[in-house]
Chains A and B, each alone.
Chain A
């Protein structure tokens, strides 16, 4: 892509604000992007801490550290913090930073709303954390021992902490929907002249689809948890069979959101990979059109296969058959995406800097997770896998590579652009290897545990499950601690380091690489002309 007008910081109509006002009142996409990323990093450590406690408890049979409700509270909190606090905000942070720079726009289309959608998050996080700690105070009621799926009737039994959680979910939902509207409006209206939908960078495409998914499904979750709130306090019985309601209805509402949600977590990282792999293979993305097509197909089929999380509720044969075939078919577009990545690497001239290492790991490990997904899709067999540790292994193999590693790849890839400094490559590689090895030691053995009969979400287990739990917990310690290195690398890069060129990577393509590293506070105030 070439531009005729290269524009650096010219013609500011207002000065850059300083101090806390710069952040609290920010309408600047780069600052808001930074806020999102810092928020996500904080949450990554909170969610990680709860995961470490979970694995420590499971290190040995018996109940050593956590009483059962606290254990389940941590399980709930871990999932919600990681999904809503870490992965989604981090992806939104990348979107904020990169989309305007990639499409040649001066900022997001709705900068004030952008401010709002970020600043709702700390409030939501406060509610979420309160939902965890309220039970520790006298009169605080019981702990949330339901898991992130919040199934009634158990979630109706929980004390007031559940109400905090419900309001936290409302706030998180509002924040996501506002951010999505902003991204859609920006992508549809603010592309530089000459950049069509079918030539815009793939990261933009993935976010366009993600944003639509969010707007479609988040309100359903909000509705579901609101009905739960009503059942809890206002005498309705949407989910109470004794009052003519249906506990399974909640599951349908939850998974109507929940399954598309996994693609919401996945797609932005697929977007990152679509930049990282071509850059380090020095070769354009293979199959741009089929990538877009695959993504739209995943989003469409993904909206109508939710009940594969509920094979054991006793659906009719027709219904399970439909959900089984629908789910298995998802492997076609997902497989095509992976194929395109491999074909991009094929006959390229690869080098293996940290972002590329993560990208390769994603291609391999995400494939593994997707394939165990195909196993899970098969109803008769899933009647065995369901709610066992096998499922835990599956979704960590798709989510950790598919979402988190993709975000790591993005952070390493764009850090030089954001900070103007190269990160320390050796440390980056050490981080990669400890992280990936730790991850595999943690989650690979969980497949065996599930098959041998260990249910998920149990605080205590029979000694026949000891060996693999020990291995898994040791892996978790390596995996968990490796993130301290990430923190160190990021801080070190922000504070200094080798000066980054505007095109920080030899093979990097796209408008963002034509701006300085770090870019000026306002960029593309005059739109570049794409030929």
Chain B
């Protein structure tokens, strides 16, 4: 097992599978008439949200709750304004029609109202605007004011094409989070990941957002956090979870081919459970490091087995499990010059990536992992070069 726990392991995690399913179920629309939904949607969204996915899911943080409230407030204000406008228009449509014999009032615009409405109307709208802006401003300040508390948990969130990397900076833990194919995720397809973002309740968490390639955006509705991941930038957001649960979001900024396959799953647990999880992760990491640095020569079979697992999770999104790629964006590896030619060039492109393309540098993997992947690529799918690349070769190539 690698330093991040895989999907099966996650299933045993604090929240049970059934609970997760229930959690998900609750967003789904039950059978109700369309008009019912529409009416409900405008006015009673608040009450119906548990049954129908027509409003934000229930917030899981105090600031998120305030954002939710401001959303409901503006929605109610705008709904009232809308009804006023509709009221006047429909009154007029009914009474002021030629077929009812209504004579057009040619002097209407010369009345007092006609002369002053250009002042009256803007002042009224301004009043509404200031109400909204005033309420929003207070919440905005809180959202922007990232706390500088001592015991804040820093999580660096890096967007990649097409997975998320979560670095727990205080604990030296790194979690790679990828979507789970439909076969394994079933109803949660595109909302489930192999490794979740595990976070404690009751502690201020600071997210530091950046990207390794193109733009992405981290979005988890329950936390009311959305921030762009921009290469070259590090931006901050924060949250303090006030309840346990599993909260699902998705990448919100178009990031290329598999934009739809970048779910984010936050697993909110108690501080104790979080501490246990951190210890587990550290232990796994130590074991993996030991394995990689052991001065061992690996057999082809061992490398191929490791290589396949790693390739299928990390590389197959683009190059495909079958190695045929999706040309022209993602070249085939099966029978390619790169995977059957010089080992040095092959190692170089894996470690350094290729600029201007979606091929990113994979140098942050350890020597053993890269050795396994390269060995696998050189021998799988009838590439059969017979080359066995050892961790020591990788070390040299770096």
A-facing mask of B204-237, CB < 8 A → 1, else 0? 0000010001110101010011111011110110
The interface centre, meaning the residue of B86, B109, B126 with most chain A CB atoms within 10 A of its CB, is B109
Q: How far is the CA of A335 from the CA of B114 in the complex (A)?
A: 16
B214 touches A154 (CB 8 A): yes
Taking the closest CB of chain B, its distance from the CB of A374, in whole angstroms, is 6
Which stretch of B137-145, B284-292, B371-379 is in the interface? B137-145
Whether B55 sits at the interface, judged by CB under 8 Å, is: yes
Q: Which chain B residue has the least Cβ–Cβ distance from A506? A: B98
A354: shortest Cβ distance to chain B, in Å?
A: 15
| Residues of chain B with a CB closer than 8 A to A379's CB | 136, 140, 143
A135: B residues at CB distance < 8 A = 328
Q: Check if A453 sits within 8 Å of B232, measured CB to CB.
A: no
Task: Of the listed stretches A43-51, A220-228, A382-390, A487-495, name the one at the interface; the rest are far from the partner chain.
Answer: A382-390
Q: Is A64 an interface residue (CB 8 A)?
A: no
Q: Mark B77-110, 1 if CB is under 8 A from A, else 0.
A: 0100110011011001100111100111110110
Supposing A241-B233, A455-B252 touch, asked if A375 and B89 sit within 8 A by C-beta, the answer is no
**Residue in A closest to B189 when the chains form the complex, CB atoms:** A462
CB-CB nearest in chain B for A347: B105
When chains A and B are docked, how far (Å) is the Cα of A55 from the Cα of B28?
21
Residues of B within 8 Å of A468, CB to CB, are 29, 53
Whether the Cβ atoms of B253 and A387 lie closer than 8 Å is yes
Residues from 141 to 177 in A contacting B, C-beta threshold 8 Å: 141-142, 145-147, 151, 153-154, 156-157, 159
| Across-interface contacts of B258 in A (CB, < 8 A) | 68
Q: Which residues of chain A come closer than 8 Å to B118, judged between CB atoms?
A: 287, 289-290, 293, 336
- Residue B294 CB within 8 A of the other chain: no
B-side contacts of A247, CB under 8 Å? 215, 230-233
| Chain A residues positioned under 8 Å from B228 (CB to CB) | 312-314
What residues of chain B lie closer than 8 Å to A447, measured between beta carbons?
41
Among B8-16, B68-76, B274-282, B298-306, the one that faces the other chain is: B68-76
Which chain A residues in 208-249 approach chain B with CB under 8 Å?
241-242, 246-248
Name the interface residues of A351-368: CB closer than 8 Å to any CB of B.
351-352, 360, 363-364, 367-368
Asked whether B125 is an interface residue with its Cβ less than 8 Å from the other chain, the reply is: yes
Residue A184, interface by CB 8 Å:
no
Decide if A111 is an interface residue (CB 8 Å cutoff). no
The reply to whether the CB of B151 lies closer than 8 angstroms to some CB of chain A is no
- B254 contacts across to A, CB distance below 8 A: 72, 145-147, 151, 154, 387, 457
Does A459 touch B at the CB level, under 8 Å?
yes
**Stretch of A261-269, A318-326, A407-415, A510-518 that contacts chain B:** A318-326
Interface of A is mostly: helix
Q: Taking A142-B328, A347-B104, A374-B78 as contacts, is the C-beta distance between A290 and B53 under 8 angstroms?
A: no
B191 sits at the interface (CB 8 A): yes
From residue B198, how far is it (CB to closest CB) to chain A in Å? 20
CB B112 to nearest CB in A, in angstroms, measures: 13
B250 at the A/B interface (Cβ < 8 Å)? yes
Contact B108 A283 (CB under 8 A): yes
Name which residue of chain A comes closest to B192, CB basis: A462
Q: Is the CB of A384 within 8 A of B221?
A: yes
Establish whether residues A338 and B104, one from each chain, have CB atoms under 8 Å apart when the complex forms. no
Contact between A349 and B97 (Cβ–Cβ < 8 Å)?
yes
> In the complex the two chains form, is A343's CB within 8 Å of B117's CB?
yes
In the bound complex, CA of A447 to CA of B78 (Å): 14
Q: Are B97 and A351 closer than 8 Å at their CB atoms?
A: yes
Q: A328 and B85 in contact (CB under 8 A), knowing A284-B106, A453-B248, A461-B190?
A: no
Given the known interface contacts A283-B105, A471-B34, the answer about A153 and B215 at a Cβ–Cβ threshold of 8 Å is yes
Complex Cα–Cα for A248 and B215 (A): 10
Instruction: State whether B86 touches A378 (Cβ < 8 A).
Output: no
Pair B93/A360 contact, Cβ less than 8 Å = yes
With A314-B227, A458-B250, A459-B260: A451-B98 Cβ-Cβ less than 8 Å: no
In the complex, A328 Cα to B209 Cα: how many Å?
A: 28
Whether B226 pairs with A312 at a CB distance below 8 angstroms is yes
State the Cβ distance, B254 to closest chain A Cβ, in Å. 5
Q: Tell me the residues in window 19-72 of chain B with beta carbons closer than 8 Å to chain A beta carbons.
A: 24, 27-29, 34, 37-38, 41, 45, 52-57, 66-67, 70-71
Mask for B349-374, Cβ within 8 A of A = 1, else 0? Answer: 00000001110000000000000000
Q: CA of A387 to CA of B259 in the docked complex: distance in angstroms?
A: 12
Give chain A residues whose Cβ lies under 8 Å from the Cβ of B344.
Answer: none
**With A331-B129, A388-B252 as given contacts, are A453 and B98 in contact (CB-CB < 8 Å)?**
no
Residues of B within 8 A of A465 (CB): 53
> Are A381 and B71 in contact (CB-based, < 8 A)?
yes
Q: Is A24 an interface residue (CB 8 A)?
A: no
Complex: how many Å from CA A372 to CA B77? 11
Q: Add 10 more A-B contacts to A154-B254, A156-B356, A380-B143 (CB < 8 A).
A: A68-B259, A159-B328, A286-B108, A349-B97, A360-B89, A363-B89, A378-B70, A378-B136, A381-B70, A455-B252
A interface residues (Cβ-Cβ under 8 A, vs B)? 61, 67-69, 72, 135, 139-142, 145-147, 151, 153-154, 156-157, 159, 241-242, 246-248, 281-284, 286-287, 289-290, 293, 312-314, 317, 320-321, 324-325, 328-329, 331-333, 335-336, 338-339, 342-343, 345-352, 360, 363-364, 367-368, 371-372, 374-375, 378-381, 383-384, 386-388, 444, 447-449, 451-453, 455, 457-465, 467-468, 471
Q: Could you show 18 A-B contacts with beta carbons less than 8 Å apart? A: A67-B326, A68-B258, A69-B329, A153-B215, A154-B254, A281-B96, A290-B118, A329-B126, A338-B85, A345-B89, A346-B96, A364-B85, A367-B81, A367-B82, A378-B133, A380-B70, A453-B53, A453-B57
